[in-house]
Amino acid sequence: MTIAFVDGRVFIGDGKILEHATVLVDGERIVKVAQGNVAVPNDARKVSLAGMTLLPGIIDCHVHLCLDAGPDPMTSLIKESQSMIALKAARFALQTLMAGVTSVRDMGARHGVDLTIRDAIRSGMIPGPRMLASGQMICMTGGHGWQMGREADGPFEVMKAAREQIRAGADVVKFMATGGIMTAGVEPGSEQFTEEELRAGIQEAHKAGRKPATHAQGTQGILNALRAGIDSIEHGIFLDEETISLMLKKDVPLIPTLSAPYNIENKGTAAGIPDYAVDKTLRVKPFHLESTRMAHKAGVRVAMGTDAGTPFNVHGENLYELKRMVEVGFSPTEAIQSATQIASQVLGLEQELGTIEEGKLADIVVVEGNPLEDVDILLKSEAIQLVIQGGKLVKGEW
C-alpha cells in the first residue's frame, strides 16, 4: 500500500526544506517527493503533516549498546554475564528506535554483543535501529577501553585483531589511537597505537571493504590515525590547525560526541561517577568544545554521535546531542543535517539512507512543530509523533 504524507514541511536532509510538500512511500521505499499537491493513488493511506515536520530517520554514528549509562558503566559491564549484556542491549536498541533514531553505528561492545543484536534486529526478531556493528574495539594492552576490547600490540597483532573482527562479522573496525576518559590510568591526550600499528589495522579493514574508525582524542593520536588512512575521527578533543587541515584535505569527518563529557560534568562524582573520569572531563572539556567549533568553522564534515551508554548518556536520549551541537554554534538545520545526510555518509549508506529522496529507504520521523527553528522540540518524546523504518510504522499511529 502507498502511504501519502501530504501538506507538510519536509527536511530533505541536505539542508533543503520543502513547504506544503508531498512524500509518497510504497513498500520500504520513498517513491515520490514533490512540492505542493501531486496525484496520490486512490487507495493510498493519507497522513496529514499539517503543523508537523518530516525528517529523514535520525542516525547516531557512535553508540555503545553494551553500556548501560550508569555512573560507572565500564566497571559494571565486566561484572555482568554475556547474556545479561545482550538482553540489556536489546532493550536499549528499542529505546533508541523510539527516539526516532532509525540507524546507529555501534562503536564497540564486550564479547561483540553488538554483532548479535544487529543480526537479531536485521532478521526482525527484535525491534531496533538498523545497525552497523564493530564487534570488539581494538586497543593496545591496557589501552583505553581494554575492559571491552581486543588487546593487540605491534602491527602484526593489530592486523590479526582486525581480521578477527571482520571474521566475526564486523561492519566497521574501531581502533583506539589515544587514551580516554572512562579508563582509569590513561590520559585522553596520550598517544596509544602507533601510526604503524594503526596503518596495519586500517589496511585490513580497507581490504575487506570496511570503514575503519578511531577513538582519537590527543593531537598526536589524531595525526597518526589521519596519516594511517582512517575514515573517521571520534571525539577529536585536541584538534589543532594541522589536524583540521589534514581532515579537510582527506575529507575525514569528525564525530564529536559532546553528550559524553556533558553528562559526566553535569552529574559529577555526587552521582557515583568515578573521580578520575570527572577530573579528566573537567580538564579536557574546554578543548573539546573549542575543537568542535574550529572544525565546524573550517568546514570539516561533522556527524552526530552521542557515545550513548557512557555515564548518564541514556539510550533513547540521543537527540540531546543536537542541542549540544547548537550550543557550540551549529544552526538547528546544520545539526539535523549532521544526524541525517552526513551521518549516512559516515556509515557509507548515503545511497540508501540520510535524505528524503526518491528511491531511498523510507526511514522517516514526523515531529510536531518545526525543529529546524527550535531543536529542543526533538527532546520531548511526545513530539516524536511517528517513526517509520523501511516503510513500517514503529512508533505512533496513523
Binding site for Zn ion (CB under 5 A): 107, 307
Place of cell 522517516: 364
Least distance from Zn ion to the Cβ atom of residue 190, Å: 17
Least distance from Zn ion to the Cβ atom of residue 321, Å: 13
Least distance from Zn ion to the Cβ atom of residue 107, Å: 5
Q: Which is nearer to Zn ion, 204 or 307 (CB)?
A: 307
Q: How far apart are CA 303 and CA 136, in angstroms?
A: 22
Q: Which is nearer to Zn ion, 107 or 228 (CB)?
A: 107
Least distance from Zn ion to the Cβ atom of residue 345, Å: 19
Q: What percent of the residues of the chain are helix, what percent strand, and what percent coil, each to the nearest 5?
A: 40, 25, 40
Residue nearest to Zn ion (CB): 307
Least distance from Zn ion to the Cβ atom of residue 168, Å: 19
Q: Which is nearer to Zn ion, 307 or 317 (CB)?
A: 307
Q: Say which residues have a Cβ less than 8 Å from residue 64's Cβ, sequence separation at least 6.
A: 106, 107, 108, 109, 307, 308, 309, 310
Residue 271, all three cell numbers: 552521582
Q: How far apart are CA 73 and CA 183, in angstroms?
A: 11
Least distance from Zn ion to the Cβ atom of residue 305, Å: 8
Q: Are strands 364-368 and 254-255 parallel, antiparallel or unpaired?
A: unpaired
Please give the C-alpha separations between residue 281 and each of 190, 237, 309, in angstroms, as whole numbers: 14, 11, 16
Q: How far apart are CA 287 and CA 13, in angstroms?
A: 29
How many other C-beta atoms lie within 10 A of the C-beta of residue 111? 17
Q: Which is nearer to Zn ion, 235 or 360 (CB)?
A: 235
Q: Which is nearer to Zn ion, 346 or 386 (CB)?
A: 346
Q: Which is nearer to Zn ion, 30 or 277 (CB)?
A: 277
Least distance from Zn ion to the Cβ atom of residue 63, Å: 8
Least distance from Zn ion to the Cβ atom of residue 381, Å: 24
Q: Which is nearer to Zn ion, 41 or 142 (CB)?
A: 142
Residue 1, all three cell numbers: 500500500
Alpha helices in the chain (DSSP H): 73-79, 82-98, 113-122, 154-168, 195-207, 219-227, 241-250, 259-267, 275-298, 320-327, 332-338, 341-347
Q: Which is nearer to Zn ion, 24 or 63 (CB)?
A: 63
How many other C-beta atoms lie within 10 A of the C-beta of residue 35? 11
Place of cell 568553522: 297
Q: Which of 379, 286, 353, 393 is nearest to 58 (CA)?
A: 353
Least distance from Zn ion to the Cβ atom of residue 145, Å: 8
Q: Which is nearer to Zn ion, 308 or 353 (CB)?
A: 308
- Residue 172 pairs in a beta bridge with 211
Q: What is the DSSP string of 203-214?
A: HHHHHTTPEEEE
Q: How far apart are CA 17 and CA 3, in angstroms?
A: 20
Please give the C-alpha separations between residue 344 and each of 227, 293, 361, in angstroms, as whole numbers: 24, 22, 12
Least distance from Zn ion to the Cβ atom of residue 307, Å: 4
Q: Which is nearer to Zn ion, 115 or 377 (CB)?
A: 115
